[in-house]
Structure 1
């Protein structure tokens, strides 16, 4: 079998539309991981994904009669764009069935390339079933996104370029896995020419169909798949691709959402390009591999497979990247509901930066705070923080790995003030975002009046923004402005603000 694929890869017709992408040195990652890290930049293809290779190679192999019928495919986005571009180049009509969850950037680009888009189902497998229905009803020619020898051969040209671009020893290549087309082509070619090089698949842990199949020794269908990394949201590995992977893939590593987001940031830091979640799997898996093996001075290659990400997803990616890099911990703590408690809490944090701080008065006895705190990027950073906090505070809960806390609760802390909150005044503050600025603010503010509400989030901007509620007796109201001016930060009173009155007052 490998000989058949080697010949097909060498004869693959991809460069009519695809380009040979660079193998870039990732200097920042190389320095941090103490290994030589190279990125295969498939995000630089005309459709910002490697998928153009397999789609065009399949299209060029079709007979005139098959092309005349028009082609159809199911795709979570990147194969769709590749097929639409290939079809336009060859003058063939293309219909693409895409899951309804496909990012708009991919849907819109397929239409711009001349493809007819049909949105159906919530994941690839539902879209695939509908595409097969169109084949039966309209006689269209089906072009599979991954489970086809010609598609696999087209993707294998990535490996052909890598071995030509890097003549020295390669210790491991890390490949994103969805349906398996890319890793199959790479593994077949690499293992034939350089069997000593490890080929390692990387899957999102909520769509790890190859890992499940290898463990079971047969193809298995996942009961559900996550769609954060939509480019690899596949429930069943391909038949052809699984056969190749069983023989030539050394192992599969699974990564979570936080680790993927951290890898997107790593790639951005080194290349100033923003890849999609599926495109960052290779780097995320590489980092996990290096941490596990403690390897140094190796040559490691990650495939940056695509850059089709909706701009509005970047906020979520940025928020989760610090957690994925293990540079942030999310904690909840109970502190006494009395003046000075906030200051004591801040003292327990030491010199650590606070990335987020949420609190709303609940009762006269205990306050529960929700905080994001920067930690050292190592395995002991979080434990050091928790140990120090527990020396000063009776109850501290680690929420760093709690999906509900990260996705929902951190944005829901608050609500209307209970009737016990009397004399509440509300102020909005703005101050220079520098180390210690928030700690300084809390230390000065926390001992004067009881804090009944506090919200702060670090947005990476030049200024920190805080909303604070304080219980100030009526006879002391005239002292507030004078006291706040002494702190030295810009402030505005918001006690009469309509949003505050509607949702928090």
Structure 2
């Protein structure tokens, strides 16, 4: 056994102080759909509903085992890392301080407080992660507290790699394929090192990132670590602008094509499917590996596949947004700016053009003082995406002027 695998085994054994190994479940629905053996590694079933507890616990355990007298720790996080950190602090009886953006949802603040209890203080600062990260670093420097990084540290990587050890033991061997979600790269690099240093047959590894935050894929394409100038933060558990330096050292041997990109709208479809059909509550990042099946398709036929379900910390207040994104991705909901003539009967003429399965979801005048035309924000839902094509033909034939703003991000963010 290599030194890394030995350290991972030590970390995994120590984790049993906190919780039993997470289940590896054969999912009948996905297996039948993709004609493969699809296993889910349910990291959403840890005490904090994500794998992040593994790395945070291992970091603190090793600091304490090494004779470090530090009794105060800190971290910066707006989500799963904060909750794992808080749980570990309470377990070890350590003082902890979590720096979170002011914009953090109250649900995540409350859960972090519950997991940490009296051992953890929460400080809200700044609007973005970079702001609270800088505040945490300053606090660590001033107070002597040990800062627990979310992914870019050897002890964190070792802790996350314990996922692979459990999979190997539970399955009795390594699968043909493992699909790993990627944010900062702690989990993906840890699993990669663990399986590559084994003596048996290593599985094929594929990675999946949010389409709006492809930090690993972009870095592989350019051959260097890249910090993205802009990201879509919807997949908050994996929307990282810059892959970790240490993880990238391990992952740099992969091709850009080994990193799949999950469109945020399609990811919402996957979340709703797993909730409605399987009763599994997933956060956006937790659905990444399952969603990758839609990209792989026939490539998984007949294979044994393990998908790492990385987290289930979903705030149901976000459910309307998830449904909205899913409908728009499927082409079942669109938004328009419609120029309607300011004459009697114009609205009736427009409504008569709608099909029997077209539903007006939003209707709002944007310019009420116009003399000849009124601009209207119009939202339509339908049961078949093809219905919009025939609607457009009828609108064009009757001379209606309209603009589809569904994919116009600036207009959509401003008006929708």
TM-score range (shorter-chain normalised) is: 0.7 to 0.9
1:125 and 1:234 in contact (8 A); partners too: no
Tell me by how many angstroms 1:149 deviates.
1.4
Residues 326 and 162 of structure 1, relative CA distance in 2, 3 Å threshold = farther
Alignment equivalent of 1:287, drawn from 281, 290, 294: 294
Aligned to 1:456: none
Tell me by how many angstroms 1:152 deviates.
0.8
2:382 counterpart of 1:374: yes
Whole-angstrom CA distance in 2 between matches of 1:171 and 1:400:
40
Alignment of 1:152-171 (within 5 A): 152-167=157-172, 170-171=175-176
The answer to which of 257-266 and 60-69 deviates more is 60-69
Alignment equivalent of 1:223, drawn from 212, 226, 229: 229
1:36 and 1:298 in contact (8 A); partners too: yes
Q: TM-score, with normalisation over the residues of structure 1?
A: 0.70
Aligned to 2:359: 354
1:18 and 1:53 in contact (8 A); partners too: no
1:356 and 1:371 in contact (8 A); partners too: yes
Tell me by how many angstroms 1:42 deviates.
1.0
The answer to which of 399-408 and 52-61 deviates more is 399-408
2:168 and 2:174 in contact (8 A); partners too: no
Q: TM-score, with normalisation over the residues of structure 2?
A: 0.83
Alignment equivalent of 1:246, drawn from 252, 259, 279: 252
RMSD: 3.1
Tell me by how many angstroms 1:369 deviates.
6.9
* Cα deviation digits, residues 173-231 of structure 1 (max 9, x gap): 22222211111112222334466533222222333221222122121222243332222
SS of residue matched to 1:306: coil
Alignment of 1:122-201 (within 5 A): 122-167=127-172, 170-193=175-198, 197-201=203-207
Aligned to 2:23: 22
Aligned to 2:220: 214
Residues 57 and 405 of structure 1, relative CA distance in 2, 3 Å threshold = same
Tell me by how many angstroms 1:263 deviates.
2.2
Alignment equivalent of 1:385, drawn from 383, 387, 390: 387
Alignment of 1:15-54 (within 5 A): 15-54=16-55
Residues 171 and 100 of structure 1, relative CA distance in 2, 3 Å threshold = farther
Aligned to 1:115: 120
Tell me by how many angstroms 1:157 deviates.
1.2
Alignment of 1:88-487 (within 5 A): 88-112=90-114, 113=116, 114-167=119-172, 170-193=175-198, 197-247=203-253, 251-290=258-297, 296-330=301-335, 338=345, 341-342=349-350, 344-346=352-354, 349=355, 351-354=356-359, 356-358=361-363, 360=365, 370-376=378-384, 382=385, 384-394=386-396, 397-404=403-410, 406-410=412-416
SS of residue matched to 1:17: coil
Residues 26 and 321 of structure 1, relative CA distance in 2, 3 Å threshold = farther
* Cα deviation digits, residues 91-133 of structure 1 (max 9, x gap): 1111222233333222222222131112233333332222222
Whole-angstrom CA distance in 1 between matches of 2:174 and 2:144:
48
* Cα deviation digits, residues 14-50 of structure 1 (max 9, x gap): 2211331112334444444454433221111101111
Unaligned runs of 5+ in 1: 377-381, 411-505
Whole-angstrom CA distance in 2 between matches of 1:24 and 1:353:
40
Aligned to 1:433: none
Whole-angstrom CA distance in 2 between matches of 1:3 and 1:32:
38
1:156 and 1:186 in contact (8 A); partners too: yes
Whole-angstrom CA distance in 1 between matches of 2:375 and 2:352:
13
* Cα deviation digits, residues 251-301 of structure 1 (max 9, x gap): 2222333123222212212432322222222223332333xx665344433
Tell me by how many angstroms 1:61 deviates.
0.9
Aligned to 1:59: 60
Structure with higher RCO (Cα < 8 A, 6+ apart): 2
2:220 and 2:254 in contact (8 A); partners too: no
Residues 73 and 265 of structure 1, relative CA distance in 2, 3 Å threshold = same
Residues 247 and 388 of structure 1, relative CA distance in 2, 3 Å threshold = same
Tell me by how many angstroms 1:235 deviates.
2.3
Aligned to 1:79: 81
Whole-angstrom CA distance in 2 between matches of 1:235 and 1:175:
18
Unaligned runs of 5+ in 2: none
Aligned to 1:502: none
Whole-angstrom CA distance in 1 between matches of 2:76 and 2:323:
30
1:17 and 1:52 in contact (8 A); partners too: no
